[in-house]
C-alpha cells in the first residue's frame, strides 16, 4: 500500500513539474515575442512550431497568403527563429542593389543554420556558403569557367547532340501517338547535358527514360560512361528539396517529431550517397589526368579545370587571395555538387515552363520559329553558333516573360550582416530576409496586365520597367554565376524544338501546376507533337 501511495505522489509531482515547465516555456516564449524590439506585422507563432502549421509544405503559397493579409513587409517564425519577407521593389533594392561585397549588407544567402551545415553547405560551395573567402573563390571559378566563349561553344555542341538524340525518340513516340511528359524529359536532358559537360563523361539518362517507356519494345543503343543517370538526377533534385527543409526547420523538430525525423534521415542519407558518387567521379578523372603526358592537351570539362586549378596544368589560371594551391577533395566535391544542384533543377524547370507557355499560345510559338528562320536562314538543321544568340531578341523575351509569369524560384533569401532599417522597422543582423520574386513580377503596380503572357513587354517596355521588380537571375554580388550557361542550354533546345516539331498541350485548358521542393518543380505538362509543317 505504501509503495502504491508513494508511486502516486511521485507521479503526480512529476506531471506537475512537467506541466509547470511547459507553462513556463510558453509564457516565456510569448514574453520574448511581444517584447521584441522591432515588431513587424505577421501571423502569431506558437511555441516550438512557430508558424510551421500555417506554412505546410508549400512555402511560396504560404508567403503569398501572408502577403495578402499582412502586406509587403512582414515576419513569420520557424520555431523561435524570426524570418522577414519583402514584396516591394524599393525594399528589394536594399537587399539586391549593391554590386560589391564592401557595399552590401546582404552578402549572406541565409542566417546561420545548423541544418545547412549538416548538408555540408555552410562553409563549402557557393549557394549557402557563409565563408566569404571560400565563396569568392568558388564564384570566380564558376563564372570564369562557365561564361567563357570556348566553354559555351562546347555546351552548344553537346546540347545540340543530346537534343537530336531525344528528338529521335520523340519521333518514335509520335508515330504511336504517345504524349511527351515535358518535366520528365527536361530532367533527363538536363542531367545528360550538365553531367557530361561537367565531367567529360557521357551520361545516358535520356536513353534510360526512353527504354523505360518501352515504346513498341524499341530500345536505345546509346550507353553512357556513368550508370544510373536517372537515379543520380533524382538524388540531386532530392538534395535541392532538402535545402529548404534543413534551413527552415529547427534541429529539435527535424530530429524528434514523428514524420519529420524520417524525412531528416532520408535527406542526410541522400547527401552521403551523392558525396560517394562525386568522390568516384573525381577519383577516376584524377587518375586519367595523372596518366596523361604533360604535352598532351586535356579535354576542358569543368571537372578537369577543377583538378588542374593552381597546378602546372592549370587551364584557366584561377586563384583568389590565399587560395593559390590545388583544390582539396572537399573543395572539389562541393563545387562539382553545386554545378549539378544549380545547373539541373533551375534550368530544366524553367525550360519546362517556357514550353508550357509556347504550347499554350501558338502565335508566340510561330513567332519564335519565324525569328529562328530569319536568323539562320533555314529550319532544316540550322547551324547554331554562340554569336547568333544575341540576335534572338524575341526568344529571349519569351524566356524572360515565362520567368516573370511563373518563376522557378519564387521566394529567395538573403541575410543581413548588420542591422538594417526597413520602413522604420529594424531588421537585426543575421536575420534571413526572403524576397517574394513572384509577387514582385506579378504586381500590377510594376507590370501592366501581369496575368497576361506578353513577351512584347520585354521588347517595347523594358526601358520603363521598375528597377528590382524583376530579378530573373538575382542581382548584385550573388547573381547566378551560371546564367550564361543556362541561357545557352535553353536557347539551343528551343531553336531545335521549333525547327523540328509542332506542339500542343494535351489539355489545352491546363493551368500551371507545380510541386514545391525548394524550387517550383513543374508537373503534368504533357504535349502532343507532330513533325513540323512548312
Axis-axis angle for helices 229-248, 205-213 (nearest 10): 100
The cell for 309 is 586549378
Per-residue pLDDT at 6: 46
Residue 429 neighbours by CB under 8 Å, 6+ apart: 416, 417, 418, 419
Domains in the chain with CATH codes: 133-531 (1.10.630.10)
Per-residue pLDDT at 146: 82
Residues belonging to the binding site for heme are 480
Please answer whether residues 363 and 258 qualify as being in contact, where contact means their C-beta atoms are separated by less than 8 angstroms: no
- Written as tens digits, the pLDDT of the chain (534 aa) is 555 554 455 555 656 766 666 677 677 776 777 677 778 999 999 988 899 899 988 999 999 999 999 999 999 998 888 999 999 999 999 999 876 677 788 888 888 889 999 988 888 888 888 888 888 888 887 887 788 888 899 899 999 999 999 999 999 999 999 999 999 999 999 989 988 888 888 888 899 999 999 998 888 877 766 667 778 888 988 998 898 889 888 888 899 988 899 999 999 999 999 999 889 889 989 999 989 988 888 877 888 888 887 777 766 666 555 566 777 888 888 888 888 888 778 899 999 999 999 999 999 999 999 999 999 999 998 999 999 999 999 999 999 999 999 999 999 999 988 999 999 898 999 999 999 999 999 999 999 999 999 999 999 866 678 999 999 988 888 888 889 999 999 999 999 999 999 999 999 998 989 999 888 999 999 999 999 886
Axis-axis angle for helices 329-360, 132-147 (nearest 10): 50
Give all strands of the β-sheet with 432-436 in edge-to-edge order.
Answer: 73-78, 81-86, 432-436, 411-415
Q: What is the spatial distance between Cα 75 and Cα 432, in angstroms, rounded to a whole number?
A: 10
Q: What is the spatial distance between Cα 431 and Cα 447, in angstroms, rounded to a whole number?
A: 30
Q: What is the spatial distance between Cα 226 and Cα 301, in angstroms, rounded to a whole number?
A: 15
- For the purposes of burial, counting CB atoms within 10 Å of the CB of 432, is it exposed (0-12), middle (13-18) or buried (19 or more)? buried
The DSSP secondary structure of 257-269, one letter per residue, reads STTHHHHHHHHHH
User: Residue written as cell 568522390?
Assistant: 279
Amino acid at each position: 500500500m505504501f509503495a502504491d501511495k508513494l508511486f502516486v505522489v511521485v507521479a503526480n509531482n512529476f506531471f506537475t513539474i512537467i506541466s509547470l515547465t511547459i507553462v513556463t516555456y510558453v509564457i516565456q516564449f510569448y514574453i520574448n515575442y511581444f517584447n521584441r524590439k522591432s515588431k513587424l506585422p505577421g501571423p502569431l507563432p506558437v511555441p516550438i512550431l512557430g508558424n510551421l502549421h500555417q506554412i505546410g509544405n508549400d512555402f511560396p503559397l504560404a508567403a503569398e497568403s501572408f502577403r495578402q493579409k499582412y502586406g509587403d513587409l512582414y515576419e513569420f517564425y520557424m520555431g523561435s527563429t524570426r524570418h522577414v519577407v519583402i514584396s516591394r521593389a524599393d525594399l528589394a533594392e536594399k537587399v539586391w542593389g549593391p554590386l560589391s561585397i564592401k557595399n552590401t549588407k546582404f552578402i549572406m544567402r541565409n542566417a546561420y543554420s545548423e541544418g545547412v551545415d549538416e548538408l555540408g553547405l555552410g562553409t563549402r560551395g557557393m549557394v549557402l556558403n557563409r565563408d566569404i573567402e571560400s565563396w569568392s573563390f568558388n564564384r570566380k571559378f564558376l563564372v570564369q569557367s562557365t561564361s567563357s566563349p570556348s566553354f559555351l561553344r562546347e555546351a552548344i555542341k553537346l546540347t545540340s547532340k543530346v537534343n537530336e538524340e531525344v528528338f529521335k525518340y520523340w519521333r518514335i513516340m509520335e508515330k504511336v501517338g504517345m504524349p511527351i511528359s515535358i518535366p520528365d524529359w527536361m530532367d533527363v536532358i538536363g542531367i545528360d547535358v550538365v553531367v557530361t559537360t561537367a565531367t567529360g563523361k557521357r551520361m545516358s539518362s535520356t536513353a534510360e527514360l526512353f527504354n523505360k517507356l518501352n515504346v513498341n519494345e524499341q530500345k536505345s543503343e546509346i550507353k553512357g560512361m556513368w550508370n544510373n543517370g536517372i537515379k543520380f538526377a533524382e538524388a540531386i533534385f532530392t538534395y535541392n528539396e532538402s535545402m529548404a527543409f534543413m534551413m527552415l526547420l529547427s534541429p529539435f523538430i527535424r530530429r524528434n517529431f514523428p514524420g519529420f525525423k524520417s524525412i531528416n534521415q532520408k535527406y542526410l542519407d541522400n547527401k552521403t550517397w551523392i558525396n560517394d558518387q562525386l568522390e568516384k567521379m573525381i577519383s577516376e578523372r584524377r587518375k586519367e589526368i595523372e596518366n596523361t603526358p604533360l604535352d598532351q592537351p586535356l579535354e576542358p570539362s569543368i571537372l578537369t579545370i577543377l583538378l588542374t586549378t593552381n597546378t602546372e596544368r592549370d587551364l584557366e589560371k584561377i586563384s583568389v587571395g590565399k587560395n593559390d594551391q590545388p583544390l582539396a577533395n572537399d573543395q572539389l566535391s562541393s563545387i562539382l555538387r553545386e554545378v549539378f544542384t544549380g545547373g539541373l533543377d533551375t534550368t530544366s524547370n524553367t525550360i519546362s515552363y517556357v514550353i508550357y507557355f509556347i504550347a499554350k499560345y501558338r502565335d508566340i510559338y510561330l513567332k519564335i520559329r519565324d525569328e529562328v528562320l530569319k536568323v539562320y536562314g533555314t529550319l532544316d538543321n540550322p547551324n547554331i553558333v554562340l554569336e547568333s544568340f544575341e540576335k534572338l531578341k524575341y526568344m529571349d523575351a519569351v524566356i524572360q516573360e515565362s520567368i516573370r509569369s511563373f518563376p522557378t524560384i519564387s521566394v529567395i533569401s538573403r541575410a543581413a550582416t548588420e542591422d538594417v532599417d526597413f520602413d522604420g522597422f529594424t531588421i537585426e543582423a543575421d536575420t534571413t530576409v526572403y524576397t517574394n520574386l513572384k509577387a514582385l513580377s506579378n504586381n500590377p503596380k510594376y507590370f501592366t496586365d501581369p496575368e497576361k503572357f506578353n513577351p512584347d513587354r520585354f521588347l517595347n517596355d523594358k526601358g520603363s520597367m521598375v528597377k528590382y521588380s524583376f530579378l530573373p537571375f538575382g542581382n548584385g554580388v550573388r547573381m547566378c554565376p551560371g546564367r550564361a550557361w543556362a541561357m545557352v542550354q535553353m536557347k539551343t533546345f528551343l531553336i531545335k524544338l521549333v525547327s523540328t516539331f509542332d506542339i500542343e498541350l494535351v489539355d489545352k485548358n491546363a493551368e500551371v501546376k507545380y510541386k514545391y521542393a525548394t524550387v517550383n518543380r513543374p508537373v503534368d505538362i504533357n504535349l502532343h507533337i507532330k513533325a513540323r509543317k512548312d
